[in-house]
Chains A and B, each alone.
Chain A
Amino acid sequence: EDKVVQSPLSLVVHEGDTVTLNCSYEVTNFRSLLWYKQEKKAPTFLFMLTSSGIEKKSGRLSSILDKKELFSILNITATQTGDSAIYLCARSGSGTYKYIFGTGTRLKVLA
């Protein structure tokens, strides 16, 4: 099964900064790409992207999928210390309901 690659692996920023997290993958045929935030325990859902070029937005977070270039980005503007977490992206397998996760980006926001 192909990989899902996230970059950077880790990132340290100061409050108020804007960050862009990247998720790239290798296949073109899949149902959905998901973004999760993981603090201390279980991942919590952020976004589901199914169509290329359509931005999903929730407060300071936004995400977009580019199916032609095979990547997705997660943007966080005006970062806060509460944004410190591991951010995971996952691509659904083609024709199945299983998901392949990337290794995650560890974000630390300093006060």
Chain B
Amino acid sequence: NAGVTQTPKFQVLKTGQSMTLQCAQDMNHNSMYWYRQDPGMGLRLIYYSASEGTTDKGEVPNGYNVSRLNKREFSLRLESAAPSQTSVYFCASSLAGVAPYNEQFFGPGTRLTVL
């Protein structure tokens, strides 16, 4: 099992460019999440998908869109990148349901720089 995979690992964009971050999990998890991590800010939830076919906003959704393509895949799109979106992006998944199924497994992260 690969767990949670993310592509790309690194990306540099110019202001105004668009891109999609890809995430896939092979653990048959129901819920998937996108976070960003900035120095001194911890992990902040951008969007999450509690189950296939549903998506909800997190703390910092502005400037992002998501697609839960199927149970395995959850993508994050930046339509018009801004320097404030320079960050490390993590995808995570969890089986979800009644505890103890809430543990989140994280992907390796994507380091995005917007110039």
Which A residues are within 8 Å of any B CB, using their own CB?
1, 6, 31-32, 34, 41-45, 48, 50, 88, 90, 92, 96-104
Contacts and interface: CB of A to CB of B under 8 A. Distances in A.
A44 B3 CA distance: 12
5 contacts: A31-B99, A41-B109, A96-B56, A99-B33, A99-B104
7 A-B pairs with the lowest CB-CB distances in the bound complex, closest first: A42-B106, A103-B42, A101-B43, A50-B99, A101-B42, A97-B96, A32-B102
Nearest to B107: A42
B94 interface: yes
A48 B56 CA distance: 24
A101 B37 CA distance: 10
A92 B99 CA distance: 11
Contacts of B106: 42-44
Interface residues of B, number: 28
A interface SS class? loop
A45 B100 contact: no
Given A1-B59, A98-B58, A43 B43 contact: yes
A103 B102 contact: no
Q: Which of B33, B42, B94, B105 has the most CB of A within 10 A?
A: B42
Interface stretch (B11-19, B44-52, B65-73): B44-52
